Amino acid sequence: MIVIIGAGAHGLSIAYHLKKKGVKDVTLIEMKRIGYGSSSRNLARFRYHFYSKENVEYAKRAIPYLISQAEELFLNPVINITGYLWILRDEKLVETFEKLDSFWKGLGVGGKFINCKEFDFLNYNGECYLAPQNGSFHHDYILYSYYIEIMKDYKIIYDEVTEILVGSGKVKGVRTSSGKTIEGDKIVITAGAWSGKLLEKLKLPNYIEPERIEAFITEPIKYFIKPLIIDKDFYFSQTLKGEIIGGIETKIEKGFLPFTNSFYEMIEFATRLKSLVKRVEGIGILRGWSGYYEMTPDHSHIMGYGEDWPEGLYIDAGYSGHGMMFAPYSGKLMADLIADERKDPAIITFSPDRFSKNKLINEMLVI
């Protein structure tokens, strides 16, 4: 029996890919509801452009797979190639992107420097960097496509896992807050920001820390902003429906804080938006929400298992803000590992053992 803890994008993706392999005995345990954590709270963007070679190489495999899912899944995730546009307001940032541009071109994902005035909706005349390959998708359509595919074949239990049971160096199952024991000889932790808590209960190092991030969305107006705009700590894009969606990082809030919004942050987002973008005077904020980035020390995800872990224990978590875009491909690799013991090289690269072995990935381009 395979037990998957967490029914967000990664847990559902693993389950979906296990079903494709014909695996029968799978149970998912979800604390609240499908996609309760970051999977239903993200801005649904994808990119190839990272600071580390490891994440760029992973994206080069994961993003085409994400796009291919549009032809396979029950609900169309509406892939839209829009590009990312970084505003480079100072010379130091220009120098950083000159190095990144050379690095990205060497990996086949180069962009181009462009004057921001080429985008007539921006109130800024200066250097920008455009990465045209990046884009957007509808995350809920991926999430619920996976759910629709597995719901009749796999059991889904709505409860909180309080303990992972281990005996003779092997996992035996889990115990939930309602007192139930679910047996399993393979346990997969895909609980997002809560994954670290489960590692701690096993006295394993916890490399995952939650950081609360806020997001806002405006009333819809005519569609005219194609790329995702990144201006240091401020970012936004426009949906095909016409809403402007984004966020601003005024401070880092660590820990399991309530899913609430700050009035100050909402005003700051609206103020920055109206200062930078033309033709949005008087636009209103419809709503806001918050969610967790599941941050690791090197801002890169954890896959597979540790050398000293109990046999049968796996993890797929810690994506540090880029989990939804990687979920389809990560689920495939994890299913290969769990069902067939096929260890893709990426499983080794992103292993939790990299921290004790000082093989950090050091991803510094977190948006």
pLDDT in tens, 193-250: 999 999 999 999 999 999 999 999 999 999 999 999 999 999 999 999 999 999 998 7
Domain boundary (93, 108, 132) is at 132
Are 25 and 152 found together in one domain? yes
Count how many Cα atoms sit within 13 Å of the Cα of residue 257 in the half-sphere of its side chain: 18
The pLDDT of residue 255 is: 85
Are 187 and 274 found together in one domain? no
Question: Are the CB atoms for 4 and 14 separated by under 8 Å?
Answer: yes
Are 178 and 116 found together in one domain? no
76 domain-assigned: no
Question: Are the CB atoms for 165 and 113 separated by under 8 Å?
Answer: no
The pLDDT of residue 132 is: 97
- Identify residue 61 by its one-letter amino acid code: R
The pLDDT of residue 256 is: 87
| Cα-to-chain-centroid distance, residue 359 | 22
Domain boundary (295, 311, 333) is at 295
Are 351 and 240 found together in one domain? no
Distances (CA, A) of 61 to 14, 54, 56, 110, 305: 17, 11, 9, 16, 21
Q: Is the pLDDT of residue 251 over 80?
A: no
For 182, the enclosing helix (H) or strand (E) is strand 181-183
- Give the span between the Cα atoms of 35 and 280, in whole angstroms: 32
Are 180 and 305 found together in one domain? yes
Are 67 and 101 found together in one domain? no
Are 161 and 301 found together in one domain? yes
Tell me the pLDDT tens digit for each residue of 276-313.
Answer: 999 999 999 999 999 999 999 999 999 999 999 999 99
Q: Nearest to residue 272, comparing CAs of 293, 256, 248, 289? A: 248
343 domain-assigned: yes
Helices (H), ranges, 137-252:
139-150, 195-201
Question: Are the CB atoms for 248 and 234 separated by under 8 Å?
Answer: yes
Are 88 and 227 found together in one domain? no
Domain CATH for 163: 3.50.50.60
* Helix, strand, coil percentages in the chain from 3-state DSSP, rounded to 5: 30, 30, 40
77 domain-assigned: no
Domain CATH for 279: 3.30.9.10
Are 144 and 111 found together in one domain? no
Tell me the pLDDT tens digit for each residue of 71-86.
Answer: 899 999 999 999 999 9
197 domain-assigned: yes
Global pTM value: 0.95
Are 187 and 52 found together in one domain? yes
158 domain-assigned: yes
What would the mean pLDDT of 153-168 be, rounded to a whole number?
96
Who contacts 137 (Cβ-Cβ below 8 Å, separation ≥6)?
44, 45, 46, 66, 70, 77, 78, 79, 80, 325
Are 213 and 288 found together in one domain? yes
Domain containing residue 231: 209-295
Are 39 and 144 found together in one domain? yes
51 domain-assigned: yes
21 domain-assigned: yes
17 domain-assigned: yes
- For the chain, how big is the Rg over CA atoms in Å? 21
Domain boundary (295, 318, 346) is at 295
For 276, the enclosing helix (H) or strand (E) is helix 263-276
Residues of the chain with pLDDT > 90, as a percent, come to 91
Q: Tally Cβ neighbours within 10 Å of residue 185.
A: 14
Q: Nearest to residue 361, comparing CAs of 48, 46, 47, 53? A: 53
Domains identified in the chain, total number = 3
Q: Tally Cβ neighbours within 10 Å of residue 341.
A: 7
What would the mean pLDDT of 144-165 be, rounded to a whole number?
96
What would the mean pLDDT of 348-357 be, rounded to a whole number?
96
